[in-house]
Structure 1
Amino acid sequence: MDTDLLRAFVTVAECEGFSAAGKVLHRTQSAVSLQIKRLEDQMGESLFERTSRSVVLTPPGGRLLPYARHMLKLQDEARRVMGVDRQGELIRLGTSEEQASTYLPELLPRFAARFPEVRLEVNCSISGSLVHDFQEGLLDVALVVRHGPTQTGRLLGREPMVWVVAEDRAIDDWEILPLALNPEGCIFRAHAFAALGPTERRWDVRYSSRSPTGINLPVQAGLAATVKTPRSVPEGCRIVGEEEGLPPLGHVEIEMHRTPGHSSDAFVAFCDELEHIVTATDSLESLEYVAAEG
């Protein structure tokens, strides 16, 4: 059985669509459709039920899926054992700089000890850009702040957002609240605007940067306030208390995107270990807690 056809099948099933699968596989939608048609001809069964809005597995497709995943995993293992991929597998991770600095120091040594031959490429950017890159097939896994529902994002939990200022700075020191924020497209910026908009407090974006360093420096110098999660409060700064009069910001949701059909032992272990480290973070509220609260 052609494993390329099986990989296309698994990817369509996990992406729930031919267009999204095509981006992951670096193929056109029509090419993926032809691959599925060839597999259906070989199986003698229809594997997907196609509607104008979605693509779902038929009962025969559901029976085939676990076997297809297992065969792809065996192929990946065979390639590794036979030394086909002599340079070592490459895993392309996308995440923010702050998430990387929080989670990777624990993840990297542990993962490298188990899979010393695997190469890791870390791409840091804002979440919206990372989701786009993942959907275009430029990343294998992305850990991001959820901006909206997608076909590939798996929710891990949520984190509170907090106002942050320098340790020696009081909010009342400013007649006009100066802000240091990421550019348009950042959900933290959007939450800051939404929270401050209905209030009578005057505010102004004085500093803007895609880099956490570009945000942190004016905040640490006492020149501006910003929005963070508790795990990302920079050195020399503090969380603004509720009694200081700034409006609440709510929560952000953290999600992980994993390339469908990518089933090597190293990739699965990397994603599982990263998820474990993220969900064990004190500031992350678990899905069970969120559901109970709701």
Structure 2
Amino acid sequence: MDIELLRTFVAVAESGGFSAAAKSLNRTQSAVSLQIKRLEEQLNDSLLQRTSRSVALTPAGSTFLPYARRMLRLQEEAQLAVGQRNSSETIRFGITDEQAQAYLPDILAPFTESFPDVQIEITCDQSTELVAALQDGLLDMVLCIRHRATPTGIPVATQPLVWVASPDLHVNRLNPLPLALNPEGCVYRAQALSLLSKAGKRWRIAWTSQSPTGINLALTAGLAVSIKADRSIPEGCIALEDTAGLPPLKPAVIELHRSPAGTSLALDTLADMISDAVVQHHASFTAVPENMRAAGSME
């Protein structure tokens, strides 16, 4: 069975469509459709149900998908077993700044020791920008905060969020409330403004920064209030109590995204290491059940 046909099928299944799969595989949509047709002819069964808006697995496709993934993995293991390691493999990994600071120090050294020939190119950006880059075929894997459901996003854990400020800032006396937030497109920003508005709290954007360092400067200087993961409260600042009168925050969902075209032993290992680091980093994290992780890939 042609391994490229399997790779194309997995890409379509995991991306949820021919257009997204074509982009990730750097092929035309018609070429992807033709390869799926060839695979279906070989199997003498329909694998995908096509509509004008979406693509879904048929019962045969659902049965075949784990076998296709296993055959792709077995091919690489076989190549490694006979010394055909791809010394030029590069993993393009996207991650937010705060997550990079929290998880990468514990991951990079062990991974490099296991895969000394694999290069990792790391891009730090906002979650929405990283997911868009992955969907455009510019990244192989992304760890980010969920903004909306996507075909590639697999929930890994939930992360508590808190209002943060300097203990010297008298929040109850501030009207409007000065905020230090990331630019438009950040889910923390969207949640802050939505909840404050619904609660009837007046607010103003006092400080905007793309980086956590910039936000932390505003917080430690006592200039504003912000939203942070509970593990990311800067030194000298505190999580505000309920007495501050601010609305309770919903936890963030941490997601791992994989390019539908990306499959390798190194990439799988890095994905496992990142997922484990997220869940284990803080006891306050709640791991997402396995059945939810599996369901997330076809949202």
TM-score by length of 1: 0.90
Aligned length: 288
The residue type paired with residue 275 of structure 1 is S
Shift of 1:168: 3.1
Hey, what does 2:260 align to over in structure 1?
A: 260
Pairing 1:37-116 to 2, within 5 Å after superposition: 37-80=37-80, 81-83=82-84, 85-87=86-88, 89-116=89-116
Summarize deviations over 1:202-224 as a string: whole Å, max 9, x none: 32101111111121111111111
Hey, what does 1:214 align to over in structure 2?
A: 214
Hey, what does 2:156 align to over in structure 1?
A: 156
The residue type paired with residue 256 of structure 2 is M
Summarize deviations over 1:174-222 as a string: whole Å, max 9, x none: 3432111011111111111111113443321011111111211111111
Q: Which moved more, 1:76-85 or 1:18-27?
A: 76-85
* Rounded Cα–Cα distance in structure 1 between residues aligned with 2:142 and 2:242: 33
Shift of 1:91: 1.1
CA contact (8 A) 2:127 2:145 kept: yes
Hey, what does 2:22 align to over in structure 1?
A: 22
* Rounded Cα–Cα distance in structure 1 between residues aligned with 2:240 and 2:63: 54
State the superposition RMSD in angstroms: 2.1
Q: Which moved more, 1:9-18 or 1:188-197?
A: 9-18
The residue type paired with residue 12 of structure 1 is V
CA contact (8 A) 1:156 1:253 kept: yes
CA contact (8 A) 1:231 1:283 kept: no
CA contact (8 A) 2:157 2:278 kept: no
CA change 1:94–1:277 in 2 (3 A) is same
Q: Which moved more, 1:274-283 or 1:195-204?
A: 195-204
* Rounded Cα–Cα distance in structure 1 between residues aligned with 2:193 and 2:61: 46
Shift of 1:273: 1.1
**Structure 1 residue 242 corresponds to structure 2 residue 275:** no
CA contact (8 A) 1:162 1:227 kept: yes
Summarize deviations over 1:30-49 as a string: whole Å, max 9, x none: 22111111222333332222
CA change 1:202–1:63 in 2 (3 A) is closer
Secondary structure of 1:158's match? strand
Shift of 1:98: 0.1
Summarize deviations over 1:44-67 as a string: whole Å, max 9, x none: 332222233432333443444333
**Structure 1 residue 287 corresponds to structure 2 residue 293:** no
Shift of 1:267: 1.0
Runs of 5+ in structure 1 lacking a partner? none
* Rounded Cα–Cα distance in structure 1 between residues aligned with 2:182 and 2:228: 11
CA contact (8 A) 2:25 2:261 kept: no
Shift of 1:24: 1.7
CA contact (8 A) 1:161 1:229 kept: yes
CA change 1:70–1:199 in 2 (3 A) is closer
CA contact (8 A) 1:94 1:141 kept: yes
CA contact (8 A) 1:95 1:142 kept: yes
* Rounded Cα–Cα distance in structure 1 between residues aligned with 2:83 and 2:245: 64
* Rounded Cα–Cα distance in structure 1 between residues aligned with 2:166 and 2:147: 28
* Rounded Cα–Cα distance in structure 2 between residues aligned with 1:142 and 1:74: 24
Secondary structure of 2:87's match? coil
Hey, what does 2:297 align to over in structure 1?
A: none
The residue type paired with residue 106 of structure 1 is D
CA contact (8 A) 1:72 1:261 kept: no
* Rounded Cα–Cα distance in structure 2 between residues aligned with 1:129 and 1:20: 16
TM-score by length of 2: 0.88
**Aligned sequence identity (%):** 49
Summarize deviations over 1:247-275 as a string: whole Å, max 9, x none: 21222211111123533221111101110
Secondary structure of 1:231's match? coil
**Structure 1 residue 6 corresponds to structure 2 residue 12:** no
Runs of 5+ in structure 2 lacking a partner? 293-299
Secondary structure of 2:249's match? coil
* Rounded Cα–Cα distance in structure 2 between residues aligned with 1:150 and 1:71: 26
CA contact (8 A) 2:15 2:21 kept: yes
* Rounded Cα–Cα distance in structure 2 between residues aligned with 1:45 and 1:32: 17
